[in-house]
Each structure stands twice: as structure tokens, then as C-alpha cells.
Amino acid sequence: MKLALYGGSFDPPHAGHVGVVTEALKTLPVDKLVIVPAERNPFKPSVRAEGEVRLRWLRNIFRGYSKVEISDFEIAQKRSVYTVETVRHFAPLCDELYLIIGADNLESLHQWHCFEELDASVRWVVASRGGIPIPEYMIELRVDVPVSSTDFRTRFAPLGLSSEIENEIITYYKERNERKN
């Protein structure tokens, strides 16, 4: 079986994430694409939305995608999980493993925990972003959807999702912001 892993905070999920998944399913010869939301990203101080909430949103967004599975592997650990740990968990389930990352990760990729092991274990797939050049040995996913989780969290910029799920996400973040003030 050929498997693709797509991890991240998804805090919140948005049309850019959907674009990555859609393009990956068109481009990669995979049997399954597993989305793995992080409990906490090792490179970020915190997440705004609880893990179980982000899992529910992702399951709702991707429910019609037959090759997509949403995994609670990292959320269930209740801590920051290094990508190499996730790869070790899923590697025994497949013959070939693709790891999808955003181009914004390329600059610090060599700093990832156990990078050499990761590099030897996966085929890198990079979603384009902001004109960042992708190395030739990596598979490029041409996805430039001008939506960002950061823009949403700072000014509630549109997420590009169905109105039902987008309204749920907006309500969640607005309520959390009100509780902080």
C-alpha cells in the first residue's frame, strides 16, 4: 500500500489545506492520504483550538473523500509529537510513504528531529507557497491558495470553506477570544 501523511496544526483548517489534499490525491499514486493534526507543533508555542475540536472539523471537511482518513495519533499522545514518531507509527502499514509539507517548512527542515532518518524513510512532497523554490528531488504540489490560519486568527479572514463549517469555526474562535478579554 502507498500512503501519504499530511500533518500540521490545522488551527484552524482552511481552503489551503483542502487544496493540498485535492492536489495530492490527483498527483500522488497513493491508496490513502492520512491527515494527522498535531496536539502541539514542536515549533509553535500553542494551539488555539483543542485537538478534539480540530479533529471534528477535519472529519467534517473531508467526509466525502474516500481516500482520506483523519488520524488522532498525535492528538491522543497529549504532547508535541515529532514527525519522525508519526512516520515510525505509519511506516509498517505501507510499502511506500509520502510526507506532505508546506514550502514554508523547507528552510528549517534540516533542524527537524531525526531529520536523517526522516529523509531516508519518506518521499518528500511539498505544497508550493509564496514562490518558495522546491528542490528537484522533492515532489511539488502546485497549490497557492491565498488563505492562512494566521490571517484568520488575527483578523477572522475568510477560510474558503462551506458556510456551515466556516461559521462553526468563526464562532469557536470568537468565543475563545471573548473569554480571554
Per-residue pLDDT of 8-26, as tens digits, reads 999 999 999 999 999 999 9
Residue 170 in any domain: the answer is no
Q: How many helices (H) and strands (E) in the chain?
A: 7, 6
pLDDT at 178: 62
φ/ψ of 131, rounded to 5, equals 75, 15
The cell numbers describing 178, all together, are 471573548
Domain count, the chain: 1
CA distance 18 to 111: 27
CA distance 59 to 3: 18
53: number of Cβ within 10 Å: 17
Domain extent at residue 65? 2-147
Q: Write the pLDDT tens digit of every residue in 103-159.
A: 989 999 999 999 999 999 999 999 998 889 999 999 999 987 777 777 787 778 888
* CATH code (residue 39): 3.40.50.620
Residue 30 in any domain: the answer is yes
CA 19 distance to own-chain centroid: 11
Whole-number CA gyration radius for the chain: 16
Residue 152 in any domain: the answer is no
Report residue 48's pLDDT band, with 50, 70 and 90 as the boundaries.
confident
